[in-house]
Structure 1
Amino acid sequence: MPGTSRTYTFLGPEGTFTEAALLQVPGALQAVRVPASNVNAALEKVRDGAADAAMVPIENSVEGGVTATLDAIATGQELRIIREVLVPISFVLVAPPGTRTEGIRRVSTHGHAWAQCRLWMDKNIPDAEYVPGSSTAAAALGLLEEGCPYDAAICAPLVASEHAGLSVLAEDVGDNPGAVTRFILVSRPGVLPARTGADKTTVVVPLPEDRPGALMEILDQFASRGVNLSRIESRPTGQYLGHYFFSIDAEGHAGEARVADALAGLHRISPGTRFLGSYPRADKQETEVPAYTSDAAFSAAQSWVDSILAAECFAGESGSGASPTA
């Protein structure tokens, strides 16, 4: 939108790791940024046109997939992933000034953050009760409200530094110093990001039927074409017990012959397959493509088949007028 400020939404409030991810997007600092209370709300702002794109978490190196995001983009009006961002994660324990660690009985944070700090909590505040929060920042800001039902929160260092009413009781409370969360920027369907040689393609594939070998058929669409998978997770569709879809990240771009052929294969066996986008990898790691699955190999193979069909067609036409022998 030339000459028009873009509007982004993100899992809020301000100061979340999600906003930190958004600020890595070129131009986001100057754009309009609207926090959303949850992932569904952020994606709905994109679907109804209130925002151009939404930044939401999708995967954590400790806990795996963020189920709220996996479920929200698998259904409803189609959306496209156009970028991914990786953010190193560190946590601090905050509380109102004057709070002592031994006086903490209830601690709030986002579920994924709690999972990454459980060992620290068990060692240092073993009797503390966990209170789920919609985000780490929301949990921390809740401490500033009158009558807050918990005593402390686990959040990003940025939140604590920006609010004088929060005191840092402990730093680096995470159990995994190298923890990283992957975020995705989601927009309405449009032009695919160009191929870079270091790309990912994300799809959602419903299990066509619950029978032996059904998942193998899905995986074979990738394996037989030399397409490596970097993530695969199953999620219930919610229709009935035992009915699942698979959320899959594949290495490569839909513009590559091998990936396009795999997508076509998926659609043949599971017509409900949903394409969620091809976009550059955040780590810029180029995909190694075996020679036999390169675009040139696919093109050569198709040319070979075309030549066979053309020759057979020509032979049939040449012989069509010949009289049958006695």
Structure 2
Amino acid sequence: MTSAPPQPPAPPARRTYSYLGPAGTFTEAALAQVPEARGGVWKSVRNVAEALEDVVEGRSDAAMIAIENSVDGGVSTAQDALATMPGVRIVGEYLVPVRFVLVGRPGATLDDVSLVAAHPVAYAQCLRWLGRALPAHAHLPAASNVASALELLDGTSGADAAISPPGILEHHDLELLAEDIGDNPNAVTRFVLVARTIAPQPPTGADKTSLIVELPDDHPGALLEMLEQFATRGINLSLLASRPIGDALGRYRFVIDADGHIQDERMADALLGLRRFSPRVIFLGSYPRADRAVVRYPERYSDDIFVEARDWLRGLITGEPGVR
């Protein structure tokens, strides 16, 4: 009796990533920067809440969401979702230059354009170009940057052209009427990759820590007390944004990005201070900066100084000889 030949091991399951779709969005461009996402399943969703729910409920391994724009500031829907949805962690950040193109139906020309479909935010970022190139145009608001173009193709839009991300041309047969039509050539959108709660990656020296912190009450100097937790430990903040909590007027939570990693002694000490001060601190994650810029700080805030200070205090408490 011969034994059955050994079976080859099953291939590893493909990871699934949720992103704000459809194909061709800036969010898809951000996901394309994630090495481990290549070859995975990319799941198009309709909004940030759906993307995060996919992660929490296990339908996706991670989700890519926009968190901040250099022109329009923080993405409030994403910040609010992260503040209210437990069980998620930011594991990486990615920067996507904001470039816009003007597209039309196949065969269209710029001379044919009098009505332009665009998401209001995209339209506002292209106003100067439109004023020069199409001074007599009218604006037709669209639900998204990609929907503005797709509705040209399916016949549901009466517009002659649409403002869209360049990636739309990789997926659909559209006529490129003009490119780089944004008014700010330095515009960038910051995206974060969100997974279920896991231990932070080891520090790289070029890290960022994201938090959401509520003030204990409304009193003079409350915000200053919160900021002192970082200032007295030499920690720079790259983002400080307020969002209403929603339970009463004048009640706010603060979205914070701080330079450094939770395993840095100064950051750990600051988090302990915040925990004592605030009724609610949400740790969103420590992760490598997209720009890989090494975090610089004065020597008096190095890990060794914090460790030495703790050892000094321990010596005082235990009566260690020679400690003063």
Q: TM-score, normalised by structure 2?
A: 0.90
Quick one: distance in 1 between partners of 2:77 and 2:109? 33
Quick one: distance in 2 between partners of 1:105 and 1:167? 16
Among 234, 256, 260, which residue is 1:252 paired with?
A: 260
Quick one: distance in 2 between partners of 1:262 and 1:130? 48
Matches within 5 A, 1:177-196: 177-196=185-204
Letter in 2 for 1:271: P
Quick one: distance in 1 between partners of 2:124 and 2:102? 14
Matches within 5 A, 1:313-324: none
Tell me the number of residue pairs that the alignment of Structure 1 and Structure 2 aligns. 309
Percent identity reads 50
Letter in 1 for 2:222: A
Counterpart for residue 128 of structure 1: 138
Counterpart for residue 126 of structure 2: 117
Instruction: Provide the alpha-carbon RMSD of the alignment.
Output: 2.0
Letter in 2 for 1:299: V
Unpaired stretches in structure 2, ≥5 consecutive residues: 1-10
Letter in 1 for 2:257: D
Deviation at 1:35, TM superposition (A): 0.8
CA contact (8 A) 1:82 1:185 kept: yes
Secondary structure class of the residue paired with 1:185: strand
CA contact (8 A) 2:240 2:254 kept: yes
Letter in 2 for 1:133: A
Deviations 1:96-145 (A, max 9, x none): 23365564334222x443332232234434542251423x2232222222
| Pair 1:302–1:235, CA change in 2 (3 A) | same
| Pair 1:112–1:184, CA change in 2 (3 A) | farther
Quick one: distance in 2 between partners of 1:118 and 1:69? 26
CA contact (8 A) 2:112 2:160 kept: no
Quick one: distance in 2 between partners of 1:35 and 1:41? 10
Counterpart for residue 323 of structure 1: none
Unpaired stretches in structure 1, ≥5 consecutive residues: 313-326
Counterpart for residue 299 of structure 2: 291
Counterpart for residue 145 of structure 1: 154
Counterpart for residue 39 of structure 1: 48
Quick one: distance in 1 between partners of 2:289 and 2:69? 15
Counterpart for residue 27 of structure 2: 18
Secondary structure class of the residue paired with 1:27: helix
Quick one: distance in 2 between partners of 1:184 and 1:200? 12
Deviation at 1:53, TM superposition (A): 0.3
Counterpart for residue 78 of structure 1: 87
Quick one: distance in 1 between partners of 2:55 and 2:198? 13
**Bigger CA drift: 143-152 or 299-308?**
143-152
Deviations 1:151-186 (A, max 9, x none): 43211222124311x222221110111221111000
Deviation at 1:225, TM superposition (A): 0.5
Quick one: distance in 2 between partners of 1:154 and 1:66? 20
Secondary structure class of the residue paired with 2:229: helix
